[in-house]
Amino acid sequence: MWFEFPDLSEFYTVESQFMLGDSMLVAPKIETPTDILEAQHMQEVTFTLPTGSKWYNYYSKKVETVTGEAVTRNLPDLEQAVFIKGGSVMPVLLHDDCYALTKCINDKIRLDVYIDDNNHASGSLYTDDGTSFKHETDAEFAEVNFTYDGGFRSSRVSDASLYDFPKS
């Protein structure tokens, strides 16, 4: 947390949540649930969202209204405390019936857009063949940057001729 938010001293000693990249905040369930919560298939989690950014609940896609202070919630067993920073475009691999990434690498991808206070968002998608090291030796990979400003624009950073990306 302190690495992504060095100006926010309250995160210097936080050990119960972390950033996954620069857009996704995760607060894992680390407390043993009470008997009542366990019977309800719920677990308590406490998190603090940094100020200065708009944050979205990953599951509900709704804007979180409390930032800068600790929040405690009871979450269902199958839900985690995951939040996306406004201004992000998150590629999501659609692989409901696929359990190994190498087998579903060619499945469809959805772009989730989380706009900031200025209605902007940006992100990127990187992919390679998922099995070899050709991305290092032969530059066989694809990276596509996405920008949203009321509409999508994309720009290819590398040659994606080996992959099924539409030409832009």
Q: Are residues 59 and 105 in the same domain?
A: no
Position 126 in a domain: yes
pTM for the whole thing? 0.82
Q: Per the structure block, which two tokens stand in for 99? A: 């359990």
Q: Are residues 105 and 69 in the same domain?
A: no
**Which residue range forms the structural domain that includes residue 60?**
9-85
The more confidently predicted of residues 168 and 97 is 97
Return left, alpha or beta for 87; rule: phi > 0 is left, psi -120 to 50 is alpha, else beta: left
Q: Are residues 80 and 93 in the same domain?
A: no
Q: Are residues 40 and 96 in the same domain?
A: no
Position 2 in a domain: no
Q: pLDDT at residue 153 above 80?
A: no
Position 164 in a domain: no
> How many domains are there within the chain?
2
Q: Which one of 40, 68, 85 terminates a domain? A: 85
Position 15 in a domain: yes
Across the chain, what does the average pLDDT equal? Answer: 85
The pLDDT of residue 158: 60
Q: What is the pLDDT of residues 52-107, one digit of tens each?
A: 999 999 999 999 999 999 999 999 998 999 999 999 999 888 887 777 766 776 77
Q: Which one of 42, 66, 85 terminates a domain? A: 85
Q: What is the pLDDT of residues 104-121, one digit of tens each?
A: 767 788 889 999 999 999
Q: Are residues 130 and 73 in the same domain?
A: no
> In which band, very low, low, confident or very high, does the pLDDT at 134 lie, cut at 50, 70 and 90?
confident
Return left, alpha or beta for 119; rule: phi > 0 is left, psi -120 to 50 is alpha, else beta: left
CATH of residue 140's domain is: 2.60.40.1180
The more confidently predicted of residues 141 and 168 is 141
Are 51 and 67 a contacting pair, CB within 8 Å? Answer: yes
Reduced to 3 DSSP states, what percent helix, strand and coil does the chain have, rounded to the nearest 5?
10, 35, 55
Task: Classify residue 163 by its DSSP letter.
Answer: T
